[in-house]
Amino acid sequence: MTLRYREVEERLLERGIVVTRESIRTWCMKVSALFALGLRHREPRCGSRWHLDAMCVDIAGVKQWLWRAVDDHGAVLDVSLQQHRDTGAATSFFQRLLGDYDVPEIIHTDTLWSSGAA
């Protein structure tokens, strides 16, 4: 159930608490950031299937490689921007992923040879 700031103000006033809508809005902004941070730390375990992708992006005229890992629930596990698309770049990306999460059952990759080598 979603309440507007005015409704929260009225409910608090019924209980003898005088507060403005602006105070409620400020409180919601502060608390929602802390609440979201707490939820991120309590995220369920990631899925057992990972989808890995590397794509070329052009940043200020320099070719960079964007590596991304997504689990089978659609949650982004990690994103990395690197200058090279080679075995070393793929290995460092995999090591960082496997350091943060359990080993998945299946890893789906695109047809990059660097992913297979890593």
35 and 56 inside one domain: no
Residue span of the structural domain in which 10 resides: 5-41
53 and 36 inside one domain: no
22 and 55 inside one domain: no
57 and 113 inside one domain: yes
62 and 111 inside one domain: yes
Q: What is the pLDDT of residues 47-65, one digit of tens each?
A: 788 888 888 899 888 999 8
73 and 110 inside one domain: yes
For tokens 């309440």, name the residue.
3
Q: What is the pLDDT of residues 12-21, one digit of tens each?
A: 999 999 999 9
What pLDDT is recorded for position 83?
A: 87
Angle at 80 between CA 77 and CA 84, to 5 degrees: 140
Confidence of residue 29 (pLDDT cuts 50, 70, 90): confident
Total domains, the chain: 2
Compute the distance between CA of residue 92 and CA of residue 108 in angstroms, rounded to an integer.
Answer: 17
69 and 109 inside one domain: yes
69 and 14 inside one domain: no
Higher pLDDT, 26 or 103: 26
